[in-house]
């Protein structure tokens, strides 16, 4: 038993409905394997397969041909065994923005179940058969439904087997080659293509007529339409090497309805043939989906209103490279739909408003940040921005421009870029061009002083003047020209006035006068540029191309001129020949990629252009994808080497994070920026790592010198027991330094660990230095006291010895040695005098020892410290020699073991 709800659950739900239509839903259930004739019949009569699973499928029909298809199946089932059950009931087909398809059915119909018998059974819903009593050869008989079916008045079909039940659908196809019939290239190219088309029509026996440059084709049934479209698209596929002599041709397929097959058919279809895209047939959505599998349906543009199934779209073959190799971007219809008068805007190039209503008239001066900001948006964000613009313009009309531009969202960024495309022609930039003569001002350059020309004030008045007051302003400008006849700027202001009044002929004359009076070649070329823009807006594309070409010869570095020439070629429909020029322009100036992407003026060649841009996009994306992994590695390596608070992390990390953010943006400029910036950041990171490694090594050497100095200063200290806390801090500092020098600074983990210990090490050394001040005082005081005591005792001993020997000798033998005068001085109290002498000797000894100690203290201290240093270095050298010998013995033992193992292996 088949369950319809199970089949419907496979369809996407909660879609953003873009268009919908009522029609007939056919639910087909079968046993085992479905006969191919069933699906083929439904397909041939215009059925669209919506969903399918094991033993059931669901179809949608736009027209009443569904009854003819079912009648044909009943006739076939009368002569063949067909275990199939079919229900026909009304439903609504819904299409989402991304081409998702869903069916909206009545709740009772969704819960149905059906049992398939051994023969064909067809059940028709009462709403589906309303008004269908006049179908030739088809009648309906009420019949109670089976268990599981909806409780409605079902009916079965009775058909007359003698009727043909041919499909009522038919179409007319109209082909219109581009170019002038007087052009030799047209005569050659179109003749070759016409011969191929004629052979194709003869092959399938399709009728056609030719009138002027239009070729009209009559298509009688859906099978013929599918065959013709497939063969026609194959014949114009440029990837097919067998197709030679191709000529761009606009093609439209329209329902026959009440149209007649005659020379007036192109007029009756009601299309502007000069605005249609060549090489991609135009069909209604209904007819495009009738083509079935093998065809790709492409939207023309995005619209804020729900579209109808009769709206136009383009189709191409699935195997066409453009089907998969194209950027997905839809232009808003409000930026491409012309005004009722057909007059567009010279300032911004958008045809949905006139020049007097252009939003750029009151805007700020152009800036390079417009394209930088657009380069930071994803392609999906640009699409969403276009949709927001379309909705705003649909809701508010021309006031939607100001509403969007007032914001700071993606839609505002996109719209500013769209309005920036023709910035050279806009009033907001005229003062800057007058001041700087069409060059970009240098950063920080002072703005030149304005002269006393009345053109400045008149230009400001023009910007704020309403269209109804332009006549009085024109008189003021004319009067100013009579007083300043040689001022070209007044003629330009007058030309802008004529532009806003849509008087292009007089505007052209004023620009010509301004160009003749302008002494600067750049400003003269600018006035001639306006002449080309006026010709372009009037549809005189050949004249505009010729004018742009002349300006390009004079100013080959002004890429805007070349771009406008390319735009004119696209507007003429000859898009393919200029793709190489467009790619060259983008390679020279990458910002033109996004300009081409969002330019409404390129609608006539959008599919080919988006395909050409896709190649550039894919090339840049592949390079960026390769660099994205490198950027992630840079970020990981930066985090591995430096802590978050490290200056390198704060400075370089910001650049890396910005690059990571750009790496997640799907934008051509972002791709190029990643490829351009990543090597520089990687090189800067390597330089920072090398510099920080060297700086850390030098810092530890500096800390080692400080520690050695502290050690040398503290090495000769008379009270080792008092150095417990000092020794702890010293040993901890020495351990940190030893660990640092024992590791490899060129390894991130070791470097980061050693770097993390530097603050603690610096704090320890500061503490040791403070403690060293006290130790130095105690040590120097002790050394000074000992030296003083030693000197004093020697001098005192010598002095006392001399005193004890000299006094008795003088006293007893003074007369004999002729020192009687000393004996007289000693008198009868020699021991008292001796006491005085001992005191004098003591004082002299103390003074002499203090003087000598002061003189020799520094030398003695340095000598003791040097002896201590030599002993320490000798002990250290002894320890290193012992370690080397131990390592040498271990290496010899290892080699010996290897030799023994090798000998044992050889013996085995």
Question: Is pLDDT of 682 > 90?
Answer: no
Q: How far is it, in rounded angstroms, from Cα 908 to Cα 903? A: 9
Q: What is the pLDDT of residue 201?
A: 92
Contact 175, 265 (CB under 8 A): no
Q: Can you list the pairs that 126-135 forms with residues at least 24 positions away whose Cβ atoms lie under 8 Å? A: 126/152, 126/153, 126/154, 126/155, 127/89, 127/90, 128/24, 128/88, 128/89, 128/90, 129/155, 132/64, 132/67, 135/64, 135/67
Q: Of 172, 166, 168, whose CA–CA distance to 256 is shortest?
A: 172
Q: What is the pLDDT of residue 53?
A: 92
Q: What is the pLDDT of residue 763?
A: 85
Helix axes 488-500, 455-464, angle to 10 degrees: 10
Joined together, the tokens standing for residue 562 give: 């070349």
Question: Is pLDDT of 586 > 90?
Answer: yes
Q: What is the pLDDT of residue 886?
A: 84
Contact 156, 123 (CB under 8 A): yes
Residue with tokens 């040689």: 486
Number of H helices, E strands in the chain: 30, 17
Q: How many other C-beta atoms can be found within 10 angstroms of the C-beta atom of residue 166?
A: 12
Residue 121's DSSP bridge partners are 85
Contact 47, 24 (CB under 8 A): no
Pairing of strands 282-284, 101-104: unpaired
Question: Is pLDDT of 104 > 90?
Answer: yes
Question: Is pLDDT of 718 > 80?
Answer: no
Residue-wise pLDDT tens digits, 796-820 = 888 878 777 766 665 665 555 555 5
Residue-wise pLDDT tens digits, 343-373 = 889 999 998 888 888 999 887 788 778 999 9
Q: Place 582 in a pLDDT band, splitting at 50, 70 and 90.
A: very high
Helix axes 748-813, 724-742, angle to 10 degrees: 140
Residue 431 burial (10 A CB sphere; 0-12, 13-18, 19+): middle
Q: How far is it, in rounded angstroms, from Cα 173 to Cα 271? A: 13
Q: What is the pLDDT of residue 685?
A: 86
Bigger pLDDT: 870 vs 602: 602
Instruction: Say how many residues make up the chain.
Output: 908
Contact 776, 713 (CB under 8 A): yes
Q: Classify residue 97 by its DSSP letter.
A: T
Q: Classify residue 728 by its DSSP letter.
A: H
Q: Classify residue 183 by its DSSP letter.
A: S
Residue 57 burial (10 A CB sphere; 0-12, 13-18, 19+): buried
Question: Is pLDDT of 56 > 90?
Answer: yes
Q: How many other C-beta atoms can be found within 10 angstroms of the C-beta atom of residue 266?
A: 20
Pairing of strands 121-124, 101-104: unpaired
Residue-wise pLDDT tens digits, 301-319 = 877 677 889 899 999 988 8
Q: How far is it, in rounded angstroms, from Cα 151 to Cα 146? A: 9
231-240, 294-303, 403-412: range with lowest mean pLDDT: 231-240
- Report which secondary-structure segment, H or E, holds 282: strand 282-284
CA atoms 866, 872, 876, 879: torsion sign: positive
Please spell the DSSP secondary structure of 684-718, one letter per residue: HHHHHHHHHHHHHHHHHHHHHHHHHHHHHHHHS-S
Q: Of 358, 276, 288, whose CA–CA distance to 316 is shortest?
A: 288
Q: What is the pLDDT of residue 780?
A: 67
Phi-psi region of 294 (alpha: psi -120 to 50; beta: other; left: phi over 0): left
Joined together, the tokens standing for residue 667 give: 């934008």
Q: Place 444 in a pLDDT band, splitting at 50, 70 and 90.
A: confident
Q: Of 521, 533, 491, whose CA–CA distance to 509 is shortest?
A: 491
Question: Is pLDDT of 779 > 70?
Answer: no
Question: Which residues does 444 contact at the CB level (< 8 Å), separation at least 6?
Answer: none
Q: How many other C-beta atoms can be found within 10 angstroms of the C-beta atom of residue 695?
A: 11
Question: Is pLDDT of 560 > 90?
Answer: yes
Half-sphere exposure of 493 (CA within 13 A, CB side): 28
What is the pTM (predicted TM-score) of this model? 0.79
- Report which secondary-structure segment, H or E, holds 20: strand 17-30
Residue-wise pLDDT tens digits, 604-649 = 888 889 988 998 999 999 888 888 888 888 888 888 888 778 888 8
Question: Which residues does 600 contact at the CB level (< 8 Å), separation at least 6?
Answer: 331, 335, 336, 349, 350, 351, 418
Q: Classify residue 446 by its DSSP letter.
A: P
């Amino acid at each position: 038993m088949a369950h319809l709800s199970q089949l419907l659950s496979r369809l996407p739900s909660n879609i953003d409905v873009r268009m919908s239509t009522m029609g007939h839903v056919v639910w087909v259930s079968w046993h085992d394997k479905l006969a191919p004739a069933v699906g083929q019949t439904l397909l041939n009569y215009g059925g669209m397969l919506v969903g399918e699973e094991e033993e059931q499928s669901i179809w949608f029909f736009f027209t009443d041909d569904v009854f003819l298809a079912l009648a044909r199946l009943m006739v076939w089932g009368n002569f063949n065994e067909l275990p199939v059950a079919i229900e026909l009931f009304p439903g609504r087909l819904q299409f989402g923005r991304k081409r998702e398809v869903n069916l909206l059915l009545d709740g009772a119909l969704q819960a149905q179940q059906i049992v398939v018998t051994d023969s064909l059974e067809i059940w028709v819903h009462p709403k589906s058969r309303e008004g269908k009593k006049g179908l030739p050869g088809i009648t309906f008989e009420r019949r109670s439904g089976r268990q599981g079916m909806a409780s409605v008045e079902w009916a079965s079909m009775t058909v007359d087997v003698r009727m043909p039940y041919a499909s009522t659908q038919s179409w007319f196809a109209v082909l219109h080659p581009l170019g002038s019939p007087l052009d030799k290239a047209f005569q050659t190219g179109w003749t070759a293509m016409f011969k191929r088309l004629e052979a194709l029509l003869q092959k399938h026996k399709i009728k056609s007529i030719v009138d002027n440059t239009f070729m009209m084709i009559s298509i009688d049934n859906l099978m013929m339409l599918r065959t013709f479209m497939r063969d026609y698209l194959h014949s114009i596929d440029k990837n097919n090497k067998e197709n030679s002599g191709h000529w761009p041709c606009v093609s439209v397929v329209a329902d026959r309805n009440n149209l007649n097959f005659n020379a007036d058919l192109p007029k009756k279809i009601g299309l502007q043939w000069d605005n249609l895209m060549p090489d991609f047939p135009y069909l209604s959505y209904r007819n495009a989906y009738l083509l079935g599998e093998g065809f790709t349906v492409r939207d023309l543009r995005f619209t804020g209103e729900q579209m109808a199934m009769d709206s136009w779209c383009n189709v191409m073959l699935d195997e066409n490279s453009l089907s998969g190799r194209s950027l997905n971007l839809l232009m808003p219809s409000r930026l491409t739909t012309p005004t009722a008068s057909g007059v567009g805007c010279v300032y911004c190039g958008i045809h949905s408003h006139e020049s007097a209503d252009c939003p750029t008239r009151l805007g700020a001066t152009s800036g390079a940040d417009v394209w930088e900001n657009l380069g930071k948006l994803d392609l999906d964000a640009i699409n969403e921005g276009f949709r927001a613009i379309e909705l705003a313009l649909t809701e508010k009309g021309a006031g939607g421009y100001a509403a969007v531009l007032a914001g700071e969202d993606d839609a505002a960024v996109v719209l500013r870029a769209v309005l920036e495309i023709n910035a050279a022609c806009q009033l907001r930039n005229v003062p800057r061009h007058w001041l700087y003569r069409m060059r970009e001002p240098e950063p920080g350059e002072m703005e030149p002083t304005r002269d006393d020309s009345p053109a400045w004030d008149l230009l400001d008045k023009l910007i704020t003047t309403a269209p109804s007051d332009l006549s009085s302003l024109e008189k003021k400008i004319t009067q100013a020209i009579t007083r300043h006849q040689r001022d070209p700027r007044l003629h330009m202001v007058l030309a802008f006035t004529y532009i806003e009044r849509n008087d292009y002929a007089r505007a052209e004359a004023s620009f010509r006068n301004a160009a003749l009076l302008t002494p600067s070649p750049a400003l003269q070329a600018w006035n001639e540029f306006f002449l080309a823009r006026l010709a372009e807006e009037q549809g005189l594309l050949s004249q505009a191309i010729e004018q742009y070409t002349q300006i390009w010869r004079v100013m080959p570095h002004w890429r805007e001129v070349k771009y406008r020439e390319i735009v004119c070629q696209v507007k003429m429909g000859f898009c393919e020949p200029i793709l190489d020029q467009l790619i060259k322009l983008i390679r020279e100036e990458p910002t033109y990629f996004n300009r081409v992407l969002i330019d409404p003026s390129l609608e006539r060649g959008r599919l080919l252009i988006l395909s050409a841009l896709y190649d550039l996009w894919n090339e840049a994306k592949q390079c960026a994808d390769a660099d994205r992994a490198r950027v992630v590695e840079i970020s990981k390596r930066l985090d591995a080497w430096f802590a978050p608070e490290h200056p390198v992390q704060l400075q370089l990390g910001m650049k890396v994070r910005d690059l990571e953010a750009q790496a997640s943006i799907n934008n051509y400029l972002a791709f190029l920026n990643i490829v351009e910036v990543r090597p520089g950041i990687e090189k800067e990171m390597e330089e920072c790592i090398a510099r920080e490694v060297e700086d850390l090594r030098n810092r530890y050497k500096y800390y080692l010198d400080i520690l050695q100095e502290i050690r040398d200063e503290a090495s000769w200290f008379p009270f080792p027991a008092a150095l417990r806390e000092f020794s702890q801090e010293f040993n901890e500092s020495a351990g940190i330094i030893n660990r640092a020098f024992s590791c490899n600074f060129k390894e991130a983990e070791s470097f980061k660990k050693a770097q993390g210990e530097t603050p603690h090490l610096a704090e320890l050394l500061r503490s040791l230095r403070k403690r060293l001040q006290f130790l130095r005082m105690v040590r120097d005081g002790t050394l000074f006291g000992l030296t003083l005591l030693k000197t004093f005792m020697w001098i005192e001993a010598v002095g006392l010895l001399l005193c004890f020997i000299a006094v008795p000798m003088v006293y007893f033998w003074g007369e004999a040695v002729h020192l009687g005068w000393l004996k007289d001085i000693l008198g009868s109290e020699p021991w008292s005098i001796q006491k005085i002498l001992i005191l004098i000797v003591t004082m002299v000894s103390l003074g002499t020892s203090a003087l000598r100690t002061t003189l020799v203290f520094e030398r003695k201290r340095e000598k003791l410290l040097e002896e201590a240093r030599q002993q320490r270095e000798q002990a250290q050298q002894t320890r290193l020699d012992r370690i080397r010998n131990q390592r040498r013995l271990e290496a010899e033992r290892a080699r010996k073991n290897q030799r023994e193992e090798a000998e044992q292996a050889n013996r085995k």
